[in-house]
Structure 1
Amino acid sequence: MTPILATLLAAGLLLAAPLRAAPPEIPVEEPAGFRLTDYRAPTPPGLAGATTLDTGAVRALLERGGALPIYVQKLDRSSLPGAPWLLSKPFRQIPGSVWLPNVGLGAPDPATLDWFARHLERLTGGDRAHGLLFYCLSDCWLSWNTAKRAVLLGYTRVHWYPAGVDGWAEAGLPTEDANPLPGPQPAP
């Protein structure tokens, strides 16, 4: 085959192949309020008043004891008196985490908001400068909403980990069984 024929053949193959460019990623803007629905979707690159961390930075933060990790995965509750959480499958979390379910919902009920505020107060010993790390799953607004809520409560060292336990596990880092704290009591 002559060099000219080979060049023409290669050019023809390139022209015949469909061009598949990756769709451009549209950045997600930080909303003024909370995300109210579709919690498993791309999130903004950051959160005003909080520090957004990748897996390496989270690992370093936790190794030096710089923050308390708080897992905020949503859970359903029983309609029985006392309303226990319904664990339909095992959940995993970053070691040493506290699991506060449903505090990342866009519009939680007043009892859940109070429960969240009381637990943060207890877990930090009332120190608004105590480091807090909020996470859920990857592409999950629950952790973004929760971190925003902590900022609005006056906590000054709020960290948000958008890759969540998914990113942690994908990096080959250890996880542990997750057990939620008992939920808020229903109003009488």
Structure 2
Amino acid sequence: MPVVRAILALALSGLAGAAWADSYAAIQARRPELFHAETGYRIEHQRAPVPDDIPAPVRRVSALRTKLLMQRGAVMLDVYGAGQSRYDDLDGTWLVPEPRESLPGAVWLPEVGRGALEPALETYLARELERLTEGSKARAIVVFCVADCWMSWNAAQRIAAMGYLQVHWFPLGTDGWHDLGWPLHPVEPVPVQLD
């Protein structure tokens, strides 16, 4: 019975998202002040319904497709924000208020999905992507956060703009994964390397 429930949830989550979500263009036209004028990334109110689309070359993926990409060795990139927390300026460790559970094998890079990044976080993202992909711009990357969070939408586009060729956006994130009854595992944020 759990398998039937998971298949039904997959089908319904895909249909519901496609049927009820607005397009990026419609959301941006309605609330342009929420978006960065040059990049189009959302800069305000990150926790809100996400659009049903994302500009190419990024591809929106379902939970089932995410699982397949994971099995094929894709980099699983959790970009959940650290909230009011920041990294320690002395050693680069993140001071997070509560533990995080994520997809199996995921790497957590907090705050890299903000609409505008400070230079240290831009460098952090670039270094970690280089390390995680072993320098291959062709390595598949799945970017996610939680449901109804624009940080994964922003980060996926930012990563594609850096020249990565196989960027996938999983908008349901850890919430959708959990709702399907699939396991989540504790994850620690990768420290920021300070120069």
Distance 1:51-1:86 versus aligned 2 partners, 3 A rule: same
**Unmatched tracts of structure 1, length 5 or more:** 1-23
For 2:24, what is the secondary structure of its paired residue? Answer: coil
Residue 171 of structure 1 corresponds to which residue in structure 2? 180
Q: More helix per residue: 1 or 2?
A: 2
TM-score, L = length of structure 1: 0.80
Residue 69 of structure 1 corresponds to which residue in structure 2? 76
Deviates more, 1:136-145 or 1:52-61: 52-61
Distance 1:145-1:132 versus aligned 2 partners, 3 A rule: same
How far, CA to CA, are the matches of 2:171 and 2:21 in structure 1?
A: 17
Q: Do the aligned residues in 2 keep the contact of 1:100 with 1:181 (CA within 8 Å)? A: yes
How far, CA to CA, are the matches of 1:78 and 1:62 in structure 2?
A: 28
Q: Do the aligned residues in 2 keep the contact of 1:112 with 1:184 (CA within 8 Å)? A: no
How far, CA to CA, are the matches of 1:151 and 1:89 in structure 2?
A: 30
Residue 112 of structure 2 corresponds to which residue in structure 1? 103
Q: Which one-letter code corresponds to 1:136 in the other structure?
A: C
Aligned length: 162
Shift of 1:164: 0.2
Q: Which of 154, 162, 168 is the aligned partner of 1:153? A: 162
Q: Identity over the aligned pairs, expressed in percent?
A: 36
Residue 16 of structure 2 corresponds to which residue in structure 1? none
Residue 15 of structure 1 corresponds to which residue in structure 2? none
How far, CA to CA, are the matches of 2:145 and 2:22 in structure 1?
A: 20
Q: Do the aligned residues in 2 keep the contact of 1:68 with 1:132 (CA within 8 Å)? A: yes
Deviations 1:86-145 (A, max 9, x none): 221111000100111110011110110011011111111111110000000001111011
**Unmatched tracts of structure 2, length 5 or more:** 1-18, 29-38
Q: Which of 46, 59, 64 is the aligned partner of 2:67? A: 59
Shift of 1:46: 2.2
Q: Do the aligned residues in 2 keep the contact of 1:77 with 1:83 (CA within 8 Å)? A: no
Shift of 1:25: 4.1
How far, CA to CA, are the matches of 2:113 and 2:128 in structure 1?
A: 14
Distance 1:77-1:26 versus aligned 2 partners, 3 A rule: closer
Q: Displaced runs of 4+ in structure 1, greater than 3 A?
A: none
Q: Do the aligned residues in 1 keep the contact of 2:147 with 2:174 (CA within 8 Å)? A: yes
Shift of 1:39: 0.5
TM-score, L = length of structure 2: 0.77
